[in-house]
Amino acid sequence: MTMHVIVATDGSRQSLAAAKQLKAFADPAKITEISVVAVVRPLASVAFADDLSEKQGSWATGSFREAAQSALDTIAAVYDGWGPKVNKRIRSGSAANEIIKAAEQYDAGLVVVAAGGRGIGGSVLVGSTAQRVQHYAPCPVLVVRPKPKPKR
């Protein structure tokens, strides 16, 4: 059995950890294709923040699309030489809706998302996108939670 996997990124370090988690346990021989997906909100008041690229602060000077492309490149690089074909896709709209649509469109066997990648507060909105994807996706969803922060 082979499958197509959707790996979502919001430009956060947590999404990079989620991408690496897939590689840590999955058999690349059973994955035919990986689509790394970034979603840009066209009317967003907050930019697509790219915490992953070498160009820190690129989201402030470039476009949302450039920041999303940079995050896609970083996440896709995790799978260099691993085996499956990797596609990079930028979508526009609501993150959860677009991730779910991508899973349907590409007949995905698995979606990988980070819980708590972006949000207003560490505990208030942790995993709101991941939660919606988990609830409505047409396939299993791997939700990778961030490591707990050390207590002071």
Q: Tell me, what DSSP letter sits at residue 147?
A: P
Strand partners, 120: none
pTM score of the predicted model: 0.83
Cα angle 82-87-91, degrees, rounded to a multiple of 5: 140
Cα–Cα nearest to 36, from 117, 82, 102? 102
In tens, the pLDDT along 3-61 reads 999 999 999 999 999 999 999 999 999 999 999 999 988 765 555 655 666 555 444 44
134 touches 143 (CB < 8 A): yes
Q: Tell me, what DSSP letter sits at residue 40?
A: E
Percent pLDDT > 70 in the chain is 78
